[in-house]
Amino acid sequence: MSYFLQQWAQSAYTTVGFFWMALWAFILGYALSSAIQIFVTRKRMEQAMGAADLRSVAIGTFFGFISSSCSFSALATTKALFKKGASFIASMAFLLASTNLVIELGIIISVFLGWQFVVGEYVGGILLIAGAWALVAALRPKRLVQQAREKLAGDQAHDPEEQAASIAALDSWAKVGQQYAMEWKMVWKDVTIGFTVAGIIAVFVPDRFFEALFINAGSDSGSYSFLELLQHVVIGPVAAFLTFIGSMGNIPLAALLFGKGVSFAGVMAFIFSDLVVFPVLRINAKYYGWKMSLFIAGLLFASLIGASLLLHYGFNAFQALPDPSAVTIHSQTFFAFDYTFFLNLAFLLITGILAYVGFVKGKHIHHHKPMAHKGKILERVLTVLAIISYGWLVAGLLLKYI
């Protein structure tokens, strides 16, 4: 077998191994998220987020924390909250929390990167919100906010009202099962492409590429100069912008970046960047206009740079920066009779139960949640790329085992 075919086979094996490592975490996170979304209605959020004060921001952050991690779902819910009267900063707090503080993202990060990155994700999420709030208070974009509200007021799209759900009712759990399916439907293409790209990069891309892209990559974690760290936290979002993969699909890529020597700050900036990619900019422009969309992107970009640098220096001060050599996901034995195997079996059983309750017992229930569509062209591109990814993986596994 030629060298390229051997690498192809190893890449496909690595991708499937990555997904096997994360499967139980995906199921647990989306099951919890689905249940929370059914039992906490948007109407309750709207009533609590009208002011631009600490209470509203804290409530927006909390509701974001217990919501879906899908960026596009978060965009739709943020728009609905803002349209119904939530303040701009409380809406931004919800958006940032729903993509950086959610339960399932922390679980996936713990699988691939370890506890320091989990702490960094949650502390960094708070720093992102605080930074955005400070910038909004300093810049006072009242005219932009008013223009955005006027544009939404002219939007005739109907946001369906949600009914309060009883935790004891079978119909409520049927909705949980259907919401769980919707969560997977929203992310399957992003996850497929993200994990496939991670497998390809792990096998085909040499370390010297990352050393050229990120200045002084591979240095001791605490030895980076400020300018080197600044370059890492700027290049991290650029890399995320080019991949346009959702936050869940980006985590194995983040683990690879860290394992290849990118600084803690650079990797955190990469993880935080799911709201400054082009599809998100385009959706925000459709909702609020391009001026507000670019303002939000600038707001988030400035906040994530500050948060990433503060995290790096904070962890360094406590001598708690993670060791890149500890992240070796590309050389692991993925498939063994270990805790991952039994957790995956248990959570696959939970998936079966949710599917049965949602679509057999609850076949008379028609559940709907607001969702920001990525656009027909982008959806088609992602679908084609996902299909190509599956072809790549099947062929690679056949090469490895046949």
Residue 165 — pLDDT band, cuts 50, 70, 90? Answer: low
Residues in contact with 324: Cβ distance below 8 Å, sequence separation at least 6, in sequence order? 218, 221, 258, 259, 260, 261
Q: What is the pLDDT of residue 342?
A: 93
Average pLDDT over residues 236-242: 80
Q: What is the pLDDT of residue 205?
A: 83
Residue-wise pLDDT for 209-229, tens only, equals: 877 888 888 776 668 889 999
Mean pLDDT of all residues belonging to the chain: 84
Q: Where are the domains of the chain?
A: 3-401
Q: Cβ(270)–Cβ(257) under 8 Å?
A: yes
What's the CA gap between 207 and 282, in Å, rounded?
A: 34
The region of weakest confidence among 24-33, 303-312, 390-399 is: 24-33
What's the CA gap between 247 and 100, in Å, rounded?
A: 8
Q: Cβ(251)–Cβ(109) under 8 Å?
A: yes
Q: Which residue has the tokens 């909705």?
A: 175
Residue 162 — pLDDT band, cuts 50, 70, 90? Answer: low
Helix ranges, 205-331 (H): 207-213, 226-243, 247-259, 264-272, 278-288, 290-317
Q: Please state, for a pLDDT cut of 70, what percent of the chain lies above it.
A: 86
Q: Does residue 37 have a pLDDT over 80?
A: no
Q: Which residue has the tokens 């979002």?
A: 237
Q: What is the pLDDT of residue 363?
A: 80
Give CA separation, 135 vs 44, 65, 79, 85, 104, in Å: 27, 22, 20, 21, 28
- Residue scoring higher pLDDT (211 or 21): 21
What's the CA gap between 162 and 36, in Å, rounded?
A: 13
Average pLDDT over residues 298-318: 95
Q: What is the pLDDT of residue 374?
A: 61
**Of 36, 35, 26, nearest in space to 62 by CA:** 36
CA angle 253, 255, 256 (to 5 degrees): 65
What's the CA gap between 356 and 352, in Å, rounded?
A: 6
Q: Does residue 83 have a pLDDT over 90?
A: no
Q: Is the dihedral of CA 12, 14, 18, 21 positive or negative?
A: positive
- Residue scoring higher pLDDT (152 or 95): 95
Q: What is the pLDDT of residue 119?
A: 95
Q: What is the pLDDT of residue 28?
A: 83
Q: What is the pLDDT of residue 102?
A: 81
Residues in contact with 264: Cβ distance below 8 Å, sequence separation at least 6, in sequence order? 116, 120, 221, 258, 311, 312, 315, 321, 322
Q: Could you please report the per-residue DSSP string of 75-98?
A: HHHHHHHHHTT--HHHHHHHHHHH
What's the CA gap between 222 and 122, in Å, rounded?
A: 21
Q: Is 65 helix (H, G, I), strand (E, B) or coil?
A: helix
Q: What is the pLDDT of residue 373?
A: 61
**Structure tokens, 345:** 């079996």
pTM of the shown model? 0.78
Q: Please state, for a pLDDT cut of 90, what percent of the chain lies above it.
A: 35
Q: Cβ(28)–Cβ(107) under 8 Å?
A: yes
Q: Is 70 helix (H, G, I), strand (E, B) or coil?
A: coil
What's the CA gap between 324 and 220, in Å, rounded?
A: 9
Q: What is the pLDDT of residue 189?
A: 86
Q: What is the pLDDT of residue 202?
A: 81
